[in-house]
Amino acid sequence: MPKILLLTFILFLINWPAAATADSTQKVLALSTADYTSLRRHCDLLAPYQTYSNKFTGDELYVVGKLELACAMNTEMSYQRQYEKITASINQQANMLRQLIAGTLPQTLVDNRWISDFNKADTPEAQALFLRVYADQYHYQAPPNSSEQLSDIGWTMFWKVKRQISSENVEWLKQQLTQIPWFTISKYGEDASLAAWLIAQHADDDQAWQRKMLEMLDKQRENGEFQPQYYALMKDRVLVNSGKKQVFGSQGRCTSSGRWEPFPVEEPANVDQRRAEMHLEPLANYRKRFRCH
């Protein structure tokens, strides 16, 4: 995978809030069983839902996708036909990813860096890690035929599958870390260390474990077994999830002005110095990488 694409994936992941507000959750899930006519009555909710969709859970995003579809279709028949097409494609992709995680590689597999790493891995745990992170990143690297089968609306609904896989990957990583201290650079390589970190970043539902991970990864970083830039990103994530100011300015959001802005930063005047110490680019350059719509 090209480095610029990988960086795009990472930037998205580190700015992925865990959940929406209780009010928005209630409103979205109330539409989960709504039919075409009922969904059409709530098209006025579509704009705010799209704005804050990155805060929704997988179940909520699935409903947002249904709402998007209903508001885009002029008849119930066209809605139902497209809905069936999308759900069939989602199920097909989900089954493929389940088989992949179980060790069965489909013929349509994209030969990217994770598959290359899988082919070179010499331990079962490393092979499993690379297959799992491939599945985790599938939304961003799907083969062309998948993009044709799933519209933008379909990909919104697909996030339900993605987040289920992410949750399962976190539990798998927890189990692995009862057997090994970490996917260390010296034993498993830098890509394995990165792959394990990508999974750990999704553990927002278990913030106590995430804080424990941060402490452990700090020691691994000091020993040269974990990349400092990823430690910095996780530290910011843990701080923001705890309602505190971040240190490196990596966590943020797209504002109403169409610009990405970091959440509050501790001693912002010195943020670039701290970022440089962790092998991160200046904050101004980092901000330019985000594309807000």
Q: What are the DSSP calls for 118-174, one per residue?
A: HHH--SHHHHHHHHHHHHHTHHHH--HHHHHHS-HHHHHHHHHHHHHHHHHHHHHHH
- Give the length of the chain: 293
212 located within any domain:
no
Contacts for 45 with CB less than 8 Å, ≥ 6 apart: 27, 67
Q: Which of 205, 226, 259 is the last residue of a domain?
A: 205
pLDDT tens per residue, range 227-244:
999 999 999 999 998 999
Pick from 168, 18, 35: nearest CA to 102: 168
The domain tally of the chain equals: 2
* pLDDT of the residue at 20: 46
Question: What single DSSP character describes residue 263?
Answer: P
Of 156, 182, 205, which residue constitutes the final position of a domain? 205
Please indicate, yes or no, if residue 210 is contained in any of the structural domains. Answer: no
What is the residue whose two structure tokens read 């839902």?
Answer: 49
Does the pLDDT value for residue 201 go beyond 50?
yes
127 and 236 belong to one structural domain: no
Q: What is the dihedral of CA 127, 280, 167, 90, to 10 degrees?
A: -80
Is residue 13 over pLDDT 50? no
Do 270 and 193 fall within a single domain?
no
Question: 237 and 186, same structural domain?
Answer: no
Least Cα distance to 101 among 118, 89, 113 occurs for 118
Confidence (pLDDT) at 163: 86
Q: How far is CA 2 from CA 33, 172, 279, 286, in A?
A: 41, 27, 19, 18
* pLDDT tens figures, 86-138: 999 889 888 988 988 998 887 666 667 898 999 999 999 999 999 999 998 88
Q: CA of 106: how far to CAs of 109, 169, 239, 263, 282, in Å?
A: 6, 20, 40, 41, 41
Please, are residues 93 and 110 in contact by the beta-carbon 8 Å criterion? no
Question: Could you give the percent of the chain with pLDDT greater than 90?
Answer: 51
Of 131, 105, 279, nearest to 199 by C-alpha is: 131
The pLDDT value recorded for residue 184 is: 98
Q: List beta partners, residue 246.
A: 265
Q: Please tell me whether residue 42 adopts helix, strand or coil conformation.
A: coil
- 273-292 average pLDDT score: 94
Range of the domain at 267: 217-293
Q: Is the pLDDT of residue 1 over 50?
A: no
Residues 6+ apart with CB under 8 A from 265: 245, 246, 247, 248, 249, 271
Q: 260 and 200 in one domain?
A: no
Which residue from 192, 198, 200 is spatially nearest to 225, judged by alpha carbons?
Answer: 192
Instruction: Please tell me the predicted confidence (pLDDT) of residue 7.
Output: 45
Q: Which of 179, 205, 231 is the last residue of a domain?
A: 205
Report d(CA 167, CA 169) in Å as an integer: 5
Which is higher by pLDDT, 58 or 71? 71
State how far Cα 255 lies from the chain centre: 20
158-174 pLDDT per residue, tens: 888 888 898 999 999 99
Could you identify the residue written with the tokens 């691994």?
220
pLDDT value of residue 156:
83
pLDDT surpassing 60 at residue 260 = yes
The verdict on 178 and 287 lying in the same domain is no
- Specify whether 121 is located in the same domain as 196: yes
Token output for 71: 């508001």
